[in-house]
Homo-oligomer: A and B are copies of this chain.
Amino acid sequence: MIADPVTGETLATTGGAAAGLPEAFAYARSEGGRALQAMSYAQRAAMLSEALKVMQTKKDEYYAISLANSGTTKNDSAVDIEGGLFTLGFYAKLGAVLGDARTLKDGAASMLSKDQLFQSQHLMVPIRGLALFINAFNFPSWGLWEKAAPALLSGVPVVVKPATVTAWLTHRMVADVIEAGVFPQGALSIVCGSSAGLLDALTPFDVLSFTGSADTAAKIRSHPVIARDSVRTNIEADSLNVTVLGEDALPGTPAFDLYVDNLVRDITIKSGQRCTAPRRALVPKAVMHAVAEAAAGKLAAIRVGNPRNAETVMGSLVSREQYDSAREGLALLNTEASVLFDGTAQPLIDADENSACMGATLLGVRDADAAVEVHRHEVFGPVSSLIGYKNASHAIDIAHRGLGSLVASIYSADLQWMASTAEALASSHGRVHVVSPEVAKTHTGHGNVMPGSIHGGPGRAGGGEELGGLRALAFYHRKSAIQAPSNVLELVEQHSTELKV
């Protein structure tokens, strides 16, 4: 069932288990795959541009769906809608540069014989299968296009299974581009509702990309097609992202102010329902109180409620289930933290206690070293926990206790401190975002995923890697070392272009 999380109104319903999945998948592979791979990278890039144009004329409808189904304000809907279209356009541009080629060269050729007649060249060719995306509820648009753009550019047909609760927008976008006929038949398919049978329909040359919980990720990895048939899998799961205030950034400094501004923004954008939101805010122990006070002042100004009211700054969580889950998580974190700001008591604008609206909460962890839950339980809502650290190495240790996250950010004016901390955090974070007062106005934001930077993190975060510009194409290609006579390689390279990331 698809509902309005503010009013509770039912918007749409989805069906049960889909029939004929193996046949549908076979059609996607043969018809969709064949048609896509008959095109060059530049032709497929042009196809992405066409899809973008089709959707740009329908943005008002997408915003209306997002408002009704995700309960988000216009600004928060834009993160998903504009973010998705921007990423699609980004890959259309990147792909055009690859020109007439149909395969990619990975690195240079190397000689295998002294007479230079026998060489090796690593080649990347599009996979022979399809790409199945099992997506999360928080980004019905961006979650589709950040995966589908590199897949389709690679010549790989896509089947997307959006999270049911917000499947409407994904469904509408897919229907729009299919109706407009910009993709070959079988290139893009959607399954809404039950996910039964999806994994069973995969074969060894397909790939699977999943965004969701660590529990579901574990089940996916243990499924026979993954465990036995080695279906290539990309997983993005839970993430206890950190944002770190530098030791130099005392109250009153520009870095301190930047930290507080960005913390409040990153907690509240999309009601904290971004996998990149900073769940753990690491600050020098001595300034913890000052940070709490400054952040509380700003959080108090965030009015929560029905996104249809212009007074509302922060809309709803995506469903009542998510609301309950966030409240439970908050209670769990409260066992080892104190409430420094409680927005849940604020009156809601045009919404009642049955809605999924939830004010922001800032917690303060009582004992950084003894705390356990704050490092492993992700509350997927407008919630973050301040943690006081003693020195730089203590901050890094605390960050690593998240056991792998998507993003860490650092705010400071001390260049050396930022450089060494960034390097140390790189081993446990897929992205490290460093902000000095110099880039206050130009930095791209802790929580924003730029399509040119990789998105994914080790360990608890799932160990996956998406985006990163042309790096994303590797997932949809097979790499093979072609060892061959030089005159054969020359022929192979006629259809190939160098992959430069």
Contact = CB atoms under 8 A, between A and B. Distances in A.
Interface of A: 103, 106-108, 110, 112-115, 117-118, 120, 122-123, 125-128, 203-205, 214, 217-219, 221-222, 224, 226-232, 235, 237, 400, 403-404, 415-416, 418-419, 422-423, 425-436, 438-439, 442-444, 450, 452-454, 458-463, 465, 468-469, 471, 478-485, 487-488, 491-492, 495, 500-501
Contacts of A484: 418, 422, 432-434
A444 B112 contact: yes
B460 A481 contact: no
Contacts of A127: 427, 458
A439 B485 contact: yes
A110 B469 contact: yes
Given A427-B126, A443-B113, A453-B481, A404 B205 contact: yes
Of A114, A120, A125, most B-chain CB atoms within 10 Å: A120
A108 to B, nearest CB: 8
Contact of A122 (B117, B468, B478, B480): B468
Nearest to A206: B459
Contact of A415 (B232, B479, B487): B487
Given A205-B427, A482-B434, A460 B230 contact: yes
A117 B404 contact: no
21 contacts: A107-B500, A112-B444, A113-B443, A117-B438, A118-B439, A122-B453, A122-B471, A217-B227, A221-B226, A230-B237, A230-B458, A230-B463, A418-B491, A419-B488, A422-B488, A426-B478, A434-B482, A434-B485, A436-B487, A443-B485, A454-B481
Given A426-B482, A428-B478, A432-B482, A403 B229 contact: yes
Contact of A442 (B113, B235, B415, B479): B113
Nearest to A465: B479
A482 B409 CA distance: 10
A458 B205 contact: yes
A299 B36 CA distance: 46
Given A415-B488, A431-B483, 16 more contacts: A110-B469, A112-B444, A112-B450, A120-B452, A125-B427, A204-B403, A204-B458, A221-B227, A230-B235, A419-B492, A422-B492, A425-B480, A426-B480, A429-B480, A432-B484, A434-B482
Of A204, A231, A465, A468, most B-chain CB atoms within 10 Å: A204
A229 to B, nearest CB: 6
A497 B107 CA distance: 16
Contacts of A123: 423, 426
Contacts of A403: 203-205, 229
B222 A460 contact: no
A499 B429 CA distance: 20
B495 A453 contact: no
Of A114, A230, A416, most B-chain CB atoms within 10 Å: A230
Given A427-B126, A483-B443, A230 B438 contact: no
Contacts of A117: 438-439, 442
A204 B422 contact: no
Given A125-B423, A479-B430, A479-B465, A459 B229 contact: yes
Of A435, A450, A459, A500, most B-chain CB atoms within 10 Å: A459
Nearest to A493: B419
Contacts of A419: 488, 491-492
Of A118, A224, A432, most B-chain CB atoms within 10 Å: A118
Contacts of A462: 230
Contacts of A450: 112, 120, 483
A436 B495 contact: no
Pairs of residues from A and B, 4 with the lowest C-beta to C-beta distance, nearest first: A204-B459, A113-B442, A453-B481, A434-B484
A413 to B, nearest CB: 10
Of A204, A404, A481, most B-chain CB atoms within 10 Å: A481
Of A110, A232, A491, most B-chain CB atoms within 10 Å: A491
A99 to B, nearest CB: 18
Contact of A501 (B106, B416, B468): B106
